[in-house]
Chain A
Amino acid sequence: EAGVTQSPTHLIKTRGQQATLRCSPISGHTSVYWYQQALGLGLQFLLWYDEGEERNRGNFPPRFSGRQFPNYSSELNVNALELEDSALYLCASSLGDRGGTTDTQYFGPGTRLTVL
C-alpha cells in the first residue's frame, strides 16, 4: 500500500514569491495535516483538513493557507515568502474521526522549501 506522497521534493523560491506544496494521503485516509520543521524551531503544527474542511490551524500568519480536494489530497500555499519560511514541510494523513482514540498520523517524505 502506498504511503503519503509529497511533491515537489525540493522547492527554491525567492522572497515575495508564492509556493505551492502538494500532498496525497494514504488511501482511505480522510484527514491531512501539515507541519513545518524549521531549523532550531522543531516541528510546528500548521493546518489540519478533514473531509474537505479546515478543522484546526496552528499559530501561523494568514499567508499560510491550503485546501483539501474531494479525493482528500491537499495543497499548502505560502504567499509572500519570507526567508524564515525556509523549512521542511511535512504532510501527514490519518483516518480522522474513524480512527478512534488510537488514530495515528503517518508522514510523507516532506518538501524542503528554500527561500532566497
Chain B
Amino acid sequence: AQKITQTQPGMFVQEKEAVTLDCTYDTSDPSYGLFWYKQPSSGEMIFLIYQGSYDQQNATEGRYSLNFQKARKSANLVISASQLGDSAMYFCAMREGQTQGGSEKLVFGKGTKLTVNP
C-alpha cells in the first residue's frame, strides 16, 4: 500500500496568493515524522518543514505552514504569499520508527508540480 499520497500532480497559483498542497499518509506506527521538500528544476531537494506525530501545534517556517490533521492522516503544506521562485516540485515524505531516536529512511510521495503565475 502506498504510504504517502499526493493527489495533485500539478497546481497553479497566482503570485502573492496562498496555495495548499495535499498529502495523506498511512502508518500504524504511533511515532513518525512528516517532511516537505522542494525540488527546483536543478534537482536538489530543499528541506522546508517538519512535523512530528506527537507535536501539538502545526509547524510553521516563514511562509510555509503545515496543516496537520492526525485523525485524518493528512499533512498539507500551505505556502502563503506565493513567489515566482516557488515554482518547483514539492514532495511530502514520512519517516517511521522514531521511537529509537530518529534517523531512518524517508518514504516519499510522487510529488506535486507547483507553477506560480505572475
**Identity of the chain A residue whose Cβ is nearest the Cβ of B37 in the assembled complex:** A107
How many A-B contacts are there with CB distance less than 8 Å? 72
Q: Are A109 and B44 in contact (CB under 8 A)?
A: yes
- Could you mark each residue 65-97 of chain A with 1 if its beta carbon is under 8 Å from any beta carbon of chain B, else 0? 000000000000000000000001010101111
Interface positions, chain B 53-91, Cβ under 8 Å from A, are 91
Asked if B42 is an interface residue, CB under 8 A from chain A, the answer is: yes
Q: Are B52 and A43 in contact (CB under 8 A)?
A: no
Q: Are A101 and B44 in contact (CB under 8 A)?
A: no
**Identity of the chain B residue whose Cβ is nearest the Cβ of A50 in the assembled complex:** B103
Question: Shortest Cβ distance from B38 into chain A, in angstroms?
Answer: 10
Q: Which residues of B contact A109 (CB under 8 A)?
A: 42-44
Asked if A56 is an interface residue, CB under 8 A from chain B, the answer is: yes
A102-B50 contact given A43-B108, A107-B45, A108-B44, CB 8 Å threshold:
yes
**Identity of the chain B residue whose Cβ is nearest the Cβ of A109 in the assembled complex:** B44
**Identity of the chain A residue whose Cβ is nearest the Cβ of B91 in the assembled complex:** A43
Residues on B facing A (Cβ under 8 Å) = 31, 33, 35, 37, 42-47, 50, 52, 91, 93, 98, 100-111
Taking A42-B111, A43-B91, A104-B50 as known contacts, 20 extra A-B pairs with beta carbons closer than 8 A to each other, sorted by chain A number, are A42-B108, A42-B110, A43-B108, A45-B105, A48-B103, A48-B104, A48-B105, A56-B104, A56-B105, A88-B43, A100-B102, A101-B98, A102-B52, A103-B102, A105-B106, A107-B44, A107-B47, A109-B42, A109-B43, A109-B44
- Provide 9 A-B residue pairs closer than 8 Å at the C-beta atoms, listed in order of the A residue: A50-B103, A56-B104, A58-B105, A97-B101, A100-B101, A101-B102, A103-B101, A103-B103, A107-B37
